Structure 1
Amino acid sequence: MSTVAEVDVVVVGTGFSGIGMAVALQDAGRSFVILEKADEIGGTWRDNRYPGVACDVPSHLYSFSFELNPYWSHTYSRGDVIQDYLLAVVEKYGLREHIRFDTALHAADFDESSGVWTIATHSSDGSTHTVTARALVLGVGALHLPHIPLIDGLHTFAGELIHTAA
């Protein structure tokens, strides 16, 4: 297991929460790393790619206060438009250099005596790493894992099964 240099903060997830936190940390001059289990940013708006996916609240609510977007294409924007907004924010604020893609949090242990988190990660290539930090921020969101309902006979269904988040 290799060790990554200590940072002030580890952020988990690159959806709205993780990106917003990263910009705030950058503005505060804090060192940070962002762990992202996928190969691109976006969370819900990266993962949900079904026809007609859109936000269910007015689009202007999907603007960060530090990066307002007066140019939404629709009152209730499509998912790909929201994803494009997130990608633009990541590029504008230079966040890619802080993101460890294809890297999932495996375990996090807090040592009260030192006030330090030891965070174990694993990557899609099978490598593992340890990151130490003073703070751990979980921005994983509520919709990052598909929920498959328990439906009688589902396991014997011969057709194709899909989930909007997978």
Structure 2
Amino acid sequence: MRWSSFLIIVAAVFSLFSCKNAEEKAVVQKEVKLPKMEETFPFAETEKIELLSYENRNDWDTIRRYSNRIVEDKKLLFDTTHVKERVVLNEKLTKDLFKAFFTPTPNSESAACFDPRHAVVFYNTNSEIIYAYEICFGCAVGQASNNDFKYTMTSVGTLYPVFKSAGIKYF
């Protein structure tokens, strides 16, 4: 009887410490310092951000199939008649997108399909494309149009809620 009481007390003490540890971890996650949007490429140079959804690009874009080169000379390289939805982000969704790009997330598993159906396109004040990020939510992989973006996402899943909030329905 004494041993069982002792073990219960020890277990209770350990559970208190483990709960505190979990609370401390949650606080650490909340304290992640994001870079300033107005100082961070491509957001700092962007006048407009557009979300696109389209049919699996590998089915119809035979020239650039399985390529991350979708922008050249500041224009989209692919046939935009396959684009099903285009949404220009408002200020709130732009901030949500920024947080999605820069909030660390746990690494997630991905498949090897890369059948892109979505893109985030950044335009400057001259309506020229300065950056694009193409996404396959099916395999959780994204590809950048260039290497100017020094931050990389650990999970494209963070972008999914932004697309949904923007009204994108084609997934």
TM range (shorter): under 0.3
| Larger-gyration structure (1/2) | 2
Higher strand share: 1
Q: Which has the higher helix share?
A: 2
Q: Give the structure-2-normalised TM-score.
A: 0.23
The normalised TM-score by structure 1 is 0.24
